[in-house]
């Protein structure tokens, strides 16, 4: 193991070190060259501009001596050419002996851009030079040339230093790698010995390593894994027992039955659904459940070798609807023969009731909307057929159309309000509300309607209960609906809104007395009651008050402009506040609606 790790690390470093050396040398050489040439170019541009400013004309005798003097000052070879490229002065060679320089790259670039530069080998002095040419208006060109031997020497020195540093670093890295390999190898050998002891079943052993970092974390994790494995093996029986308890205490029924119909497992939910004996394991399904539909589900699943779902009816111990799903199981899992079926039972009684309520709701909405639409259409057709010329009847028809449209609009508005409440779009924003102010607002809104029937509107509010926490607008909406209902079904007397504080204890729920029972067993509360002296409501109707479109007297309610949604809206707004509501009534003695606000 040591040799393998050593070879891997050594080979890795032997490959990486030369690659780093070459890449670093190329990179730094390029950077040094670029920086050197950039600075050299900028210096030569400055020098050439200073020289060109002093050359106002070219003397007939040549400029060799002048170029030599400038070379002594700048250290660069100086060459002066006329516009045709003929050399008229040079610091290193006699200008008369030199060839035309118009075709030189730096001259061509300077003729176009005023400044040109190039790096190339000089045949005259046999060395690489950096050439910089500057155009002197139309008089000619000034060129400065500097040998690149300094740059080459600097690059060569840098390469040597990089090579030496790389070799030293590589040797140090290899040495450190060998040391680290020894430590890692020792730790790995210890981990191998530890895992062998764990494999043999010795869970008491522990792994202790001095290494830190990843290997230290690995040792820690292995110790924790061994401890966890020990716990899981010790608790396997307990976990199985817990799983059985979970299955037995599921809200849904679960039954395991073999192919002969013998019950292998049955949780309490199944026993509760069918009202069967506590101990049924070992008995057959037929003698225990005695439900033909249930037995049929099992038979279909086993015979068809597939999952079967079917709704079944149960009449005892109470009438309910169950969704039974039977899934065949195989043991062992790779067996081709069915061992039995897992049957799950889900109580869908409430869903069925909700479905019936939905169907009734759709039917009621359709009926409620159809009536005013039919009336509006009928009277409109009558007017179009000529009744519009009969002024007396035409006005009567138009008033009828208006009344039905108003009723239809109220119906739609109430439906939208109810929908917004149920969807949570209407938020309850509680503030400190003044009872007197709220009730005065309600009475002001409905006073004309009450006066038209010659009935009174009365309030009874103690001074210490004049303020509560509620959503003012929603509280007004609740009381408006309740007082409006009272006015509709009261022929003499009036409506009283009373507020009182008390303490009560609910002993039992009387399902036929209030559609919404109080849900607190013992509480301090404020009660708002809206009591009228109207026709009252029979006891058997009370449980359905608050349902959408439910009316005690449908024809009378429609005549009075009711939509059948007022109490449903009140019920939802009361619930949104976290309050309770109850209704008490007796035919001929009026109705009392109680709203309970808990302190």
Helix (H) or strand (E) holding 263: strand 263-266
Closest-CA residue to 74 (of 151, 150, 144, 153) = 144
What is the percent of the chain with per-residue pLDDT over 90, rounded to a whole number? 4
Segment 35-88, tens digit of pLDDT = 878 888 888 888 888 888 777 666 666 688 888 888 888 888 888 888 888 888
Q: Do 415 and 566 contact (CB within 8 A), yes or no?
A: no
- pLDDT, averaged across the chain: 78
pTM > 0.85: yes or no: no
Q: Which CATH class is domain 353-420?
A: mainly alpha
Same fold, 242-347 and 427-598: no
Distance (Å) of CA 211 to CA 2, 216, 220, 582: 17, 5, 11, 74
**Which of residues 55 and 365 earns the better pLDDT score?**
55
Structure confidence at residue 511 (pLDDT): 39
Instruction: Report how far apart, in Å, the C-alpha atoms of 305 and of each of 260, 296, 298, 308, 491 are.
Output: 15, 14, 10, 9, 70
Give the residue, 236 or 344, on which the prediction is more confident: 344
Describe the strand order of the beta sheet including 87-90 as a list of residue ranges. Answer: 87-90, 77-82, 140-147, 127-136, 115-122
Reply yes or no on whether the pLDDT at 541 is more than 70. no
Which pLDDT value is given to residue 524? 67
The mean per-residue pLDDT over the stretch 465-475 comes to 84
- CATH 3.40.50.620, applies to 427-598: no
State the pLDDT at residue 6.
57
Rounded distance between C-alpha atoms, residue 207 and residue 190, angstroms: 8
Average the pLDDT over each of 235-244, 246-255, 520-529 and give the range with the smallest value. 520-529
Assess if CATH 3.30.450.20 describes domain 242-347.
Answer: yes
Q: Which of 38-47, 129-138, 150-159, 373-382 bottoms out in mean pLDDT, i.e. has the lowest?
A: 150-159
- pLDDT at 508 exceeding the cut of 50: no
- What is the residue extent of each domain of the chain? 2-154, 242-347, 353-420, 427-598
pLDDT at site 507: 41
* Residue 327 confidence (pLDDT): 92
d(CA 229, CA 202): 11
Superfamily of domain 2-154: PAS domain (3.30.450.20)
pLDDT for 519: 47
Long-range Cβ contacts of 416-419 (<8 Å, 24+ apart): 417/565, 417/569, 418/548, 418/565, 418/568, 418/569, 418/572
> When comparing pLDDT for 268 and 524, which is higher?
268
Concatenate the DSSP letters of all residues of 283-338 into one string: SBHHHHH--HHHHHHHHHHHHHTS-EEEEEEE-SSS-EEEEEEEEEE-SSTT-SS-
The average pLDDT across 307-324 equals 89
Q: Please tell me which residue, 205 or 97, carries the higher pLDDT value.
A: 97
532-541: average pLDDT: 77
């Amino acid at each position: 193991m040591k040799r393998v790790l050593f070879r891997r690390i050594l080979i890795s470093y032997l490959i990486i070190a030369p690659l780093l050396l070459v890449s670093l040398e190329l990179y730094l050489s390029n950077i040094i060259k670029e920086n050197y040439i950039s600075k050299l170019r900028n210096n030569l541009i400055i020098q050439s501009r200073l020289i060109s400013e002093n050359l106002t004309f070219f003397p007939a005798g040549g400029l060799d001596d002048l170029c030599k003097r400038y070379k002594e000052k700048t250290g660069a070879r100086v060459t002066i050419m006329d516009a045709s490229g003929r050399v008229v002065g040079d610091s290193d060679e006699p200008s008369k002996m030199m060839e035309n320089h118009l075709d030189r790259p730096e001259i061509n670039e300077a003729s176009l851009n005023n400044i040109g530069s190039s790096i190339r080998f000089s045949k005259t002095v046999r060395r690489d030079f950096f050439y910089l040419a500057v155009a002197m208006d139309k008089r000619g060109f000034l060129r400065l040339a500097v040998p690149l031997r300094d740059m080459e020497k600097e690059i060569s020195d840098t390469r040597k230093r990089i090579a030496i540093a790389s070799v030293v670093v590589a040797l140090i890295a290899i040495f450190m790698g060998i040391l680290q390999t020894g430590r890692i190898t020792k730790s790995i050998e210890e981990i191998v010995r530890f895992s062998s002891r764990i494999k043999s079943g010795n869970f008491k052993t522990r792994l202790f390593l001095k290494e830190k970092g990843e290997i230290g974390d690995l040792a820690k994790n292995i110790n924790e894994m061994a401890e966890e494995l020990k716990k899981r093996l010790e608790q396997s029986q307990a976990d199985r027992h817990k799983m059985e308890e979970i299955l037995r205490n599921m809200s849904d029924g679960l039954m395991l039955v073999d192919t002969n119909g013998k019950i292998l497992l049955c949780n309490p939910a199944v026993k509760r659904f069918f009202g069967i004996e506590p101990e049924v394991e070992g008995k057959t399904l037929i003698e225990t459940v005695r439900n033909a539909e249930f037995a049929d589900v099992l038979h279909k699943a086993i015979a068809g070798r597939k999952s079967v779902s079917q709704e079944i009816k149960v009449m005892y111990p109470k009438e309910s609807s169950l969704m039974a799903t039977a899934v065949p199981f195989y043991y062992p899992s790779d067996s081709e023969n069915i061992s039995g079926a897992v049957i799950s039972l889900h109580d869908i009684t409430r869903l069925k009731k909700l479905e019936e309520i939905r169907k009734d709701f759709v039917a009621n909405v359709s009926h409620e909307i159809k009536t005013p639409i039919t009336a509006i259409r009928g009277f409109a057709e009558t007017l179009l057929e000529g009744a519009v010329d009969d002024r007396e009847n035409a006005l009567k028809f138009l008033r009828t159309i208006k009344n039905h449209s108003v009723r239809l609009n109220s119906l739609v508005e109430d439906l939208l309000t109810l929908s917004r409440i149920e969807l949570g779009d209407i938020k309850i924003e509680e503030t400190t509300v003044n009872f007197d102010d709220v009730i005065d607002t309600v009475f002001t809104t409905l006073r004309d309607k009450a006066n038209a029937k010659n009935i009174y509107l009365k309030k009874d509010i103690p001074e210490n209960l004049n303020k509560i926490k509620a959503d003012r607008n929603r509280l007004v909406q609740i009381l408006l609906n309740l007082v409006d209902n009272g006015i509709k079904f009261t022929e003499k007397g009036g409506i009283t809104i009373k507020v009182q504080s008390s303490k009560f204890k609910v002993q039992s729920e009387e399902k036929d007395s209030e559609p919404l029972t109080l849900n607190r067993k013992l509480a301090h509360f404020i009660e708002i009651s809206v009591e009228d002296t109207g026709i009252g409501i029979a006891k058997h109707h009370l449980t359905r008050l608050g349902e959408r479109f439910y009316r005690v007297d449908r024809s009378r309610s429609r005549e009075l402009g009711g939509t059948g949604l007022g109490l449903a809206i009140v019920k939802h707004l009361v619930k949104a506040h976290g309050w309770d509501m109850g209704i008490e009534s007796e035919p001929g003695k009026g109705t009392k609606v109680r709203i309970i606000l808990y302190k």
